[in-house]
Amino acid sequence: MVASKNGTAKAAATEIDEAEARAAKIAARKKREALAAAAEAEESAPANTKKAKADETAAKPAKTSTGEVDVKAEAQVLAKQIRSVVYKHFKVLLPTREEQQLKSLAYGAKDKLGRAIARMVAKKNGKMNWELWNNRIFPALFGDLSKTEVKLKYSAETIALAIARLFDGISEEAEEAIKDLIAYNQESFNSRQKPETDDEALEEIDLDLDDEDTLDSDDDDLDDDDE
């Protein structure tokens, strides 16, 4: 009778151990599944969300050897916080200075190349297909500028130096070439905002007239008037 009771107790203990082991395995599996799901969600999250989270967890500004706050580091942290807060409430991500410069440089390259092509096409009595250049050729060469987040195929330095090899008005030094293209883009934008005069229109078309013949003709008209 005692042996029977002992056997029953051992069987019950074994069942309890097995149940606990099964429960532990289930808990471990659920934990692994939860971690995998979190990792997958993080990987598939929009780029803007990832950037905002990175900005929120930015480190505090470092201090100098004298214990004073590093102003540049503090400004960088504040800029990240501004972007994070704006994105949190308005779901838009403010572009950084570098992103704005890259976009301006790319637009400058597109406009400068496009105008050069248009002038050469006009000399052959052709008409520039701006839609083809803006929407197909340039994006295929450099990247798409139509989206909020600029994604170019090359760095700013590479693009600037490539354009410098095609135009003598662009510096052959990377930093200066970038500045030249950004300045050109700004000038081009400003010129498009004001009405075009007849002289500017003629210059843009580039009729390739002989300047001396034109001046001689004007002089003849003046002589006729004097008579």
| Counted domains in the chain | 3
SS3 219: helix
Q: Give the global pTM.
A: 0.55
Q: 198 and 110, same structural domain?
A: yes
Q: Is residue 57 in some structural domain?
A: yes
pLDDT above 50: residue 114 = yes
Q: 87 and 29, same structural domain?
A: no
Nearest-angstrom CA–CA distance, 177 and 12: 82
Q: Is residue 220 in some structural domain?
A: no
Q: Is residue 105 in some structural domain?
A: yes
Q: 157 and 190, same structural domain?
A: yes
Q: Which residue type sits at 175?
A: E
What are 189-202's pLDDT values in tens digits? 898 887 655 454 44
SS3 87: helix
Identify the pLDDT of residue 209.
Answer: 37
Whether 134 contacts 114, CB under 8 Å: yes
> Roughly how many angstroms between the first and final C-alpha of the chain, as a whole number?
148
Beta strands in 90-147 (DSSP E): 143-144
Which domain, by its residues, includes 117? 97-212
Q: 185 and 103, same structural domain?
A: yes
Q: Is residue 74 in some structural domain?
A: yes
Q: 190 and 103, same structural domain?
A: yes
Nearest-angstrom CA–CA distance, 209 and 207: 6
Residue 110, burial from CB neighbour count under 10 angstroms (0-12, 13-18, 19+) = buried
What are 165-185's pLDDT values in tens digits? 999 999 999 999 999 999 999
Q: 148 and 101, same structural domain?
A: yes
- Listed residue (104, 109, 183, 179) closest to 171, CA to CA: 179
What are 15-47's pLDDT values in tens digits? 777 777 777 788 777 777 877 777 676 665 555
34-72 as b/e, with b when 16 or more CB fall inside 10 Å?
Answer: eeeeeeeeeeeeeeeeebbeebeeeeeeeeeeeeeeeee
Q: 13 and 34, same structural domain?
A: yes
Q: 205 and 185, same structural domain?
A: yes
Q: 197 and 147, same structural domain?
A: yes
Q: 27 and 81, same structural domain?
A: no
